[in-house]
Chain A
């Protein structure tokens, strides 16, 4: 594991017209690795997760990110047909690429999924977490997506239906 060295790259150590030493060069090389590895003393990568419940849940401000992971729960107590879908927007106003996550008759138990999407390619995956079923992982490509995506919207329709979504934007999923 790489060692994190903050002193080697301090403002005093790296200054105007001051040559980079061997130690400083190696710190510049190793510090990012140490951060990624979670080395002792290294800054920890911040993970921001956001969540809400409702019938329409929109996450905006995603322009700096390359993808997102979401945990989705469809709440019980619904009647009739329930449809849960996800769509995307490049301007925060017009949404496209609506993809159905769930479409079935009345729900008698809470359904949960883990969903991920890579903005540039539109590649997505959907894992059915509860109730777990055979063939519970599906994947595909959402057409029309790009790195211009700034918002994701989850919508559930159906009597008494509501969904809970937690979303973690990230730098991208390969």
Chain B
């Protein structure tokens, strides 16, 4: 639910995001380093699970091994979410925790 107001006299645009849109926008900017993600997964007991996901697919393995940044919006994270049966909220918490490491 996004509300936008545009003043045609100035062209000024004011945008008020609804909760869902705010969350979507926040998720689009979530990221961390590979080291941060590995540490967060290790401390969550999920590192081995995610490594297995990467090992099961050549392209996922390449991304997991060589990515210089881990994006919340990346296909790899989406695959991890599905394979590890994680919720979006758990993924969000993982990134929030990783950012502190």
Interface residues of A, Cβ cutoff 8 Å to B: 48, 50, 52-62, 64-65, 162, 167, 169
Of the candidates A53, A55, A59, A162, the one whose C-beta lies within 8 Å of that of B8 is A59
**B-side contacts of A167, CB under 8 Å:** 6, 8
Query: Which residue of chain B lies nearest to A61 when distances are taken between CB atoms in the complex?
Result: B9
Q: At the interface, yes or no: B2 with Cβ under 8 Å from chain A?
A: yes
How far in angstroms is the closest Cβ of chain B from A95?
12
Interface residues of B, Cβ cutoff 8 Å to A: 1-11, 13, 15, 18
Q: Is the CB of A162 within 8 A of B5?
A: no
Give the CA-CA distance A69 to B5 in the complex, in Å.
17
Residue of B1, B8, B9 most packed against chain A (CB within 10 A): B8
Q: Is the CB of B10 within 8 A of A54?
A: no
Of the candidates B2, B7, B9, the one whose C-beta lies within 8 Å of that of A54 is B2
Q: Is the CB of B4 within 8 A of A56?
A: yes
From DSSP, what is the main secondary structure of chain A's interface residues?
Answer: strand
**A-side contacts of B5, CB under 8 Å:** 57-60
Q: Is the CB of A60 within 8 A of B4?
A: no
How far in angstroms is the closest Cβ of chain B from A63?
9
Can you list 8 A-B contacts with CB-CB less than 8 angstroms, sorted by A residue number?
Answer: A48-B11, A54-B2, A55-B18, A56-B2, A60-B7, A61-B7, A61-B10, A162-B2
Q: Is the CB of A53 within 8 A of B6?
A: no
Query: Which residue of chain B lies nearest to A157 when distances are taken between CB atoms in the complex?
Result: B1
Q: A55-B3, A60-B5, A167-B6 are known contacts; what are 15 more A-B pairs with Cβ within 8 Å?
A: A50-B13, A52-B15, A54-B2, A55-B2, A55-B18, A56-B4, A57-B3, A57-B5, A57-B6, A58-B3, A58-B5, A59-B5, A60-B6, A162-B2, A167-B8
Q: Is the CB of B1 within 8 A of A50?
A: no
Give the CA-CA distance A152 to B9 in the complex, in Å.
14
**B-side contacts of A48, CB under 8 Å:** 8, 11
Q: Is the CB of B2 within 8 A of A58?
A: no
How far in angstroms is the closest Cβ of chain B from A152?
10
How far in angstroms is the closest Cβ of chain B from A70?
12
Give the CA-CA distance A75 to B68 in the complex, in Å.
35
Give the CA-CA distance A140 to B9 in the complex, in Å.
28
Q: Is the CB of A58 within 8 A of B6?
A: yes
